[in-house]
Structure 1
Amino acid sequence: MKKIVLFLLLLISSFSQAQPKAIIGETDYNFWINLPKQEILENKPPVIIFLHGRSLSGTDINRVKRYGILRAIEKGRNIPAIIVAPQLPFGPWNPDKINQVLEYVQKNYEIDSTRIYVTGMSLGSYGTMKFVSKYHDKIAAAVSICGGGEEADACNLSEVPIKVIHGDKDFIVRLSESQKIVNAIRKCNKNAPLEFQIVKGGTHGSVENFYREDAIYEWLFKHSKANMSELNL
């Protein structure tokens, strides 16, 4: 009986560590933060910032859990990183306000500042590109899914490892949007640390499944500002 009680206590403890916490009113963007297990948290974990698409914008922060990394965590995905998921009230993502959220996390938690990552879907993909462009000195790697970016940002983006993913059956944000920014980055720097994955049959919604799989996390975690000179894509 004691063993059963102990097992249940450990299970509850493990589960509680996976519960995101809403941070309200501390920065311009309210956001969720999800901490990894204590042994990981004590050893300066990396940070992943997730930027959602337009459909989750507003003031009800629970909407941010509907898809993406937080949804993957709810489905059982264990990610050895601090996950940060801000909510955009309206309009486009503002890179300075995203950075404000990041600075809050850096101030309140011991993190590995050489392993800060950002990823986003749809409008969040555009936000990812804009944030990486302005703060390329901070970001170790990024994943952009079913979105695009501004060609004027291409040269700054070429300095950061970026993986672009887009479905060829996306009729909401066309594949050409990702193709434009990929081409612009490669035009600026033909040796840019860039990967472009076209998902055959992928729709605007189906590519969200990448957040439930190992591949993008493994790809992100192999990059660090500490080894930028030794990139091995």
Structure 2
Amino acid sequence: MFLLTVLFSLGFTSIFGQKIERHFNEAAYPYYLYLPHDSILKNQPPVMVFLHGKSLSGSSLESLKKYGVISEIIKGRHFPAIVIAPQTTNGWNPSSIKGVLDLVRAKYPSDSTRIYVIGMSMGGYGTINFTGTYPDLVAGAVAMCGGGDIRLGENLSKVPLWIRHGDKDYAVPISESQKIVNSIKKYSAENLIFTIDRGLNHGAMERFFRSEEIYEWLFKQHK
């Protein structure tokens, strides 16, 4: 862990053929970039975008190590995908997220039928709004304890989407997710999963980044 911390401070890490890089001043957001082993990378892997919550906001990328996908990578989790984790100081803009995604995909060929987005809290809002803005791009998305623009319901109905929210969330009430669910159901609920996590508050939802189920579901989705 000490070696990993030192390497991260230099902006680049290579472990067992995998790479984690920090990128600044290339796009609207700075971002972490995880590259899987070359044997995976050369075969055009899927891409997963992780959108953090408000508590991880900033511009140095350091706070992204606290929880979520980057935290899991630091702890040793391997993903069969390119992972992009941008950082914002104040809310998520769909076109700015796409700018980072386009930049990475231009450099590293990837599977255009398997582009995924996952986020929690503010990142849940970002996930919903990005997916609803670019439904033809996103193959699957997981939005936890967030909400979003209910005007995007028709577009969201076209994408496999897993929304989950704790019923004891007093930071972002579950009604925020329910509004999105209802807006989608006006068109079609065929691609929608809505999970109410009983007894869980806002912060407790980060435990799902440590589980397998959301990743297993996500990586099964295709355009």
- TM-score where L is the length of structure 2: 0.90
Q: How does 1:111-190 map to 2 (within 5 A)?
A: 111-189=110-188
- Tell me whether 1:215 sits opposite 2:218 in the alignment: no
Q: Secondary structure at the match of 1:188?
A: coil
Partner of 2:6: none
Q: How does 1:1-233 map to 2 (within 5 A)?
A: 15=15, 17-90=17-90, 92-189=91-188, 191-225=189-223
Q: Is the 1:168–1:202 contact (alpha carbons within 8 Å) kept by the matching residues of 2?
A: yes
Q: Is the 1:50–1:86 contact (alpha carbons within 8 Å) kept by the matching residues of 2?
A: yes
Q: Distance in 2 between matches of 1:65 and 1:14?
A: 16
Higher-strand-fraction structure:
2
Deviations 1:86-106 (A, max 9, x none): 00122x210000000010111
Higher-helix-fraction structure:
1
- TM-score where L is the length of structure 1: 0.86
Q: Distance in 1 between matches of 2:202 and 2:35?
A: 29
User: Which runs of no fewer than 5 residues in structure 2 stay unpaired?
Assistant: 1-12
Identical-residue share of aligned pairs (%)? 48
How many residue pairs match? The answer is 211
Q: Distance in 2 between matches of 1:89 and 1:17?
A: 32
Q: Distance in 1 between matches of 2:169 and 2:16?
A: 37
Specify the code of the residue in structure 2 equivalent to 1:177: E
Q: Distance in 1 between matches of 2:211 and 2:37?
A: 19
Shift of 1:17: 3.9
Say what the alpha-carbon RMSD is for the aligned residues: 1.5
Q: Secondary structure at the match of 1:29?
A: coil
Kindly report structure 1 stretches of 4+ aligned residues shifted beyond 6 Å. Answer: none
